[in-house]
Chain A
Amino acid sequence: MTRSIDAKTSEPVIRFEEVTKSFGDRRRRHVVLNRVSFSIPRGRTTVIAGGSGQGKSVTLKLILGLMRPDSGHIYVDDLDVTTLRGAELRSLRTRFGVLFQGAALFDSLTVFENIALPLRERTRLSEEEIRERVMATLRQLELDGHEEKFPAQLSGGMKKRVGLARALQLDPEIVLFDEPTTGLDPVMTQEIYELFSRTQKRLGYTAVIVSHDIPKVFDLADRIILLNRGEVDVFNDIEEIVHSTKPYIREFAEMTMGELFGGNSGEKGCADE
């Protein structure tokens, strides 16, 4: 409960104001976000949930300025991402660590080179220091022994972990993870979430995690943003979801957290696919 109060009062680092994003042309318009407003608290973990195709990945791309909204504003601190270009956008992005849904590894580089790339390009560390850091991350994510492989030689879950390792290299201030645990087994999933808790405590970054691991990921969340048909609902506590009266949220809650919903909330850590 204390955590949720924090999330309410903590100052926002990212703010969406009346953001609309749609795809398609005049004849076939598909509105993904319809005048949505919400904020993401600093130094906390925010989980973005919602069915497939509801705009979770699009939301992350909007934050990064990789896509531009049709209307509305997106602020990171006081910078309006929707108006930034070139060098300003690049300097804003230095504050982010990003894991894409498809991992987006560079397929002509090895696992090691992929993870070392941000260090090589953006820091002045020596090759030795880089090697040390990368190997440490690899061990942490149980990827040691695979450093000479190319992305095409990895499994889906391994790619995800390499992407995670790459995103965490520069000690980012804000991390955006798009489905970090898809394709991982339950044990690895648990470990990844524990790793998140640990590193967040250590580094104090703001985390935005898109995840389908409901309810497991709610243990981690200070704020939950639910996307549905272009609208968002913001929850600062899992209880709010459980007690919501909106039909589709009740449906979502029943589908994703059946046992929780039945009042068995003590076991949420064990509930799994």
Chain B
Amino acid sequence: MPEETPLLLRPFAALGDTVLYLLTDLGRMGIYLFASLLGVFRRPFRFGELVKQLRFIGAGSISVIFFTALSSGMVLGLQGYYSLHKFGAEGMLGSAVSLTLIMELGPILTALMVTGRAGSAMCAEIGIMRISEQIDALECMAIDPFRYLISPKLLATLISVPLLTAIFDVVGIFGGYLAGVKLMGVSSGSYFNGMMQSVTNHDIRLGIIKSFVFALLLVWICSGRGYFVQRIRGAGFGAESVSKVTTQAVVLSSISVLIFDYLLTAILL
């Protein structure tokens, strides 16, 4: 029998356990990311699977992205008009709306929507494959689960999310135009001129970098949590573990997207 930890020391033992768990978990996830990136370059490449994932993650998200972008663009248009009107600076509306969308809202909201729609599905799918021994079966057939299963999803997300972000930006700017120009009567010329003059390549680059980083974060966390579903502390077993881990993946990935948004803005702006 292992000796009992003295009562006084128990909180420290628990703390130590937690720290060890977090470190192991982080290490595991790091190796996982590395292996899935490597898997992209392994032959034979599963082109058909990539197309399927592009359809699901990318094409399948277009309508969600469209409506999110339209409504947030329109809100930005109204809000912006309301604030700028106080200073008589309605002419700035175009630049305010487009900069906010390109640098912040586009990448962020796209990543969050894709996390909710495709990331959760990815996590659950991989988690179920893990608990029903399908991933073990792949390994026993000497088929690399990273190349076969994970890497197509990773690549598809890395391709889809920046493209979806671009769609988000365009639709959002159009939404701002609807609200600001058509509804509130800002002149169309000043809306688009303001936008052209204030948006620089640097701003666009920042948006693109963000969308790539967010894409990597979300696919890493969502698929990785599913992959390690049996190793996650407190997740329980079976169907319940998959549901808990999926929730955890969505929360974790959304929070990391927000944190990295701040970091990237602080570093790159």
A-side residues, CB < 8 A to B, are 26-27, 61, 64, 66, 90-91, 93-94, 96, 98, 100, 102, 104-107, 117-118, 121-122, 170
- Selecting from B68-76, B99-107, B132-140, B150-158, the interface stretch reads B132-140
Residues in chain A near residue B128, CB distance under 8 A: 107
Which 5 A-B pairs rank lowest in CB-CB distance, beginning with the nearest?
A104-B137, A104-B133, A98-B140, A94-B142, A93-B142
When C-beta atoms are compared, the residue in chain B nearest to A109 turns out to be B134
Assembled-state Cα–Cα distance A26/B44 (Å): 44
Q: Which residues of B (77-129) have their CB < 8 Å from a CB of A?
A: 128-129
CB-based contact A26/B134 at 8 Å: no
B259 part of interface (Cβ distance < 8 Å): no
B residues within 8 Å of A by Cβ?
Answer: 2, 44, 128-129, 132-134, 136-137, 139-144, 148
Given contacts A27-B2, A121-B148, whether A100 and B133 have CB atoms under 8 Å apart is yes
CB-based contact B133/A102 at 8 Å: yes
**A–B Cβ pairs within 8 angstroms, 7 of them:** A93-B140, A98-B140, A104-B134, A107-B132, A121-B148, A122-B141, A122-B143
Q: Complex: how many Å from CA A96 to CA B140?
A: 7
Q: How far is the CB of A167 from chain B (nearest CB, A)?
A: 9
User: In the assembled complex, which residues on chain B have CB atoms less than 8 Å from the CB atom of A91?
Assistant: 142
- CB closest residue in chain A, given B4: A27
Q: Which residues of A contact B141 (CB under 8 A)?
A: 93, 98, 117-118, 121-122, 170
Closest CB of chain A to B263's CB: distance in Å?
Answer: 33
A100 contacts B142, C-beta separation under 8 Å = no
A104 to B142 CA separation, bound complex (whole angstroms): 15
Cβ contact of B139, chosen from A66, A117, A121, cutoff 8 A: A66
Known contacts A90-B144, A121-B148; is-contact A106 B139 (Cβ 8 Å): no
Query: Smallest CB–CB gap between A83 and chain B, Å?
Result: 17
What is the chain B residue whose CB lies nearest that of A93? B142
Bound CA span A96–B139, Å: 11
Closest to A26 in B: B2
Supposing A122-B141, A122-B142 touch, asked if A104 and B148 sit within 8 A by C-beta, the answer is: no
Name the residue on B nearest A102 (C-beta). Answer: B133
Task: Give Cα distance in the complex from A66 to B139, angstroms.
Answer: 8
Q: Contact: B132 with A93, CB < 8 Å? A: no
List residues of chain B with CB within 8 A of the CB of A93: 139-142
- Docked complex Cα distance between A60 and B141 (Å): 15
Report yes or no: A104 in contact with B136, Cβ–Cβ below 8 A. Answer: yes
A107: chain B residues at CB < 8 Å are 128, 132, 134
Which chain B residue shows the least CB distance to A120? B44
Cβ-defined contact, B142 with A90, below 8 A: yes
CB pair A100–B2 under 8 Å, yes or no, is no
Q: Which residue of B lies closest to A114 (CB)?
A: B137
Known: A26-B2, A27-B2, A121-B148. A66 touches B136 (CB 8 A): yes
A117-B139 Cα distance, complex, nearest whole Å = 13
Closest-CB distance, A37 to chain B (whole angstroms): 24
Given contacts A26-B2, A27-B2, A121-B148, contact A102 B142 (CB under 8 A): no
Could you list 9 further interchain pairs (A-B, Cβ under 8 angstroms) beyond the known A106-B137, A117-B143, A121-B143? A26-B2, A64-B139, A93-B139, A93-B141, A93-B142, A94-B142, A102-B132, A102-B133, A118-B141
Complex CA distance for A190 and B128, rounded to whole angstroms = 33
Contacting residues, chain B, for A104 (C-beta < 8 A):
132-134, 136-137
Please, how many angstroms separate the alpha-carbon atoms of A185 and B128 in the complex? Answer: 29
Q: How far is the CA of A134 from the CA of B129 in the complex (A)?
A: 24
List A contacts of B136 (CB < 8 A): 61, 64, 66, 100, 104
Name which of B2, B129, B134 has the most chain A CB atoms within 10 A of its CB. Answer: B134
Shortest beta-carbon distance from B196 to chain A in Å: 47
Closest chain-A Cβ to B47's Cβ sits at a distance in Å of: 13
In the bound complex, CA of A27 to CA of B144 (Å): 36
